[in-house]
Amino acid sequence: MFVFLPVAGISINLFLLIGAGALVGFLSGLLGVGGGFLLTPILMMIGIPPTVAAASGSCQIVAASSSGVAAHFRLGNVDLKMGVTLLFGGLAGASLGVELIKVLRALGNADLLIALTYIVVLGGVGGMMLVASLKNLRRGTMKPKSRGPARLTNFLNRLPLQVSFPRSRVQHSLLAPFFLCCAVGVLVGVIGVSGGFIMVPMMVYLLRIPPHVAVGTNLFQILFTCAGVTYLQATTNHTVDLVLAVLLAAGSTIGAQIGARVSRYLRGDQLLIILASLALLVAGQMVVSIVTTPSSLLSPAAHASLYREQRAPAVPVPRLNARLSASQSGVRP
Partner 1 sequence: MNWTPARALVCIPILLAAPATLLSLSEDAASEPLPVKVTPAVIEVRTTYSGAQVEVRGEVRIGARVIVMVRGPAKEEVFNRKRRVGPIWINSGKVRISGLPALLLRYVSDPAGAWLSSDSLRSYQLDESSVMEHVRVDPPDPAADRLIRADYLAMKAQQGMYLFTDGGVLIAEYGGKRASFTATFQWPRNAPPATYEVGVYEILRGSVARHSSVPLKVVEVGFPAAVFDLATRRAPIYGALAVLVAVLAGFGIDFLATLLFGKRRVAR
Residue 144 DSSP class:
G
Determine which residue in the list 203, 240, 271, 317 makes contact with partner 1, applying CB under 8 A. Answer: 240
Question: Is 318 an interacting residue with respect to partner 1 (CB under 8 A)?
Answer: no
Chain residues 254-293 in contact with partner 1, contact rule CB under 8 A: 254, 256-257, 261, 264, 289-293
Question: Is 17 an interacting residue with respect to partner 1 (CB under 8 A)?
Answer: no
Chain residues 113-152 in contact with partner 1, contact rule CB under 8 A: 115
Parallel, antiparallel, or unpaired: how do β-strands 2-5 and 10-13 relate?
A: antiparallel
**By rule CB under 8 A, what count of residues binds partner 1?**
79
Question: Is 64 an interacting residue with respect to partner 1 (CB under 8 A)?
Answer: yes
Element of type H or E holding 171 = strand 170-173
Element of type H or E holding 321 = helix 319-329
Stretch that binds partner 1, among 30-38, 156-164, 277-285, 304-312 (CB under 8 A): 304-312
Question: Is 166 an interacting residue with respect to partner 1 (CB under 8 A)?
Answer: no
**Three-class secondary structure of residue 3 per DSSP:** strand
For residues 190 and 104, is the Cβ–Cβ distance under 8 A?
A: yes
Give the integer Cα–Cα distance in Å for 34 and 36.
6
Give the integer Cα–Cα distance in Å for 304 and 301.
5
Nearest approach, Cβ of residue 218 and partner 1 (Å): 16
Question: Is 225 an interacting residue with respect to partner 1 (CB under 8 A)?
Answer: no
Give the integer Cα–Cα distance in Å for 214 and 209.
6
Question: Is 215 an interacting residue with respect to partner 1 (CB under 8 A)?
Answer: no
Query: Per-residue x/- mask for partner 1, residues 25 to 54, rule CB under 8 A?
Result: ----------------------x-------
Question: Is 112 an interacting residue with respect to partner 1 (CB under 8 A)?
Answer: yes
10 CB burial (10 A radius; 0-12, 13-18, 19+): middle
Question: Is 333 an interacting residue with respect to partner 1 (CB under 8 A)?
Answer: yes
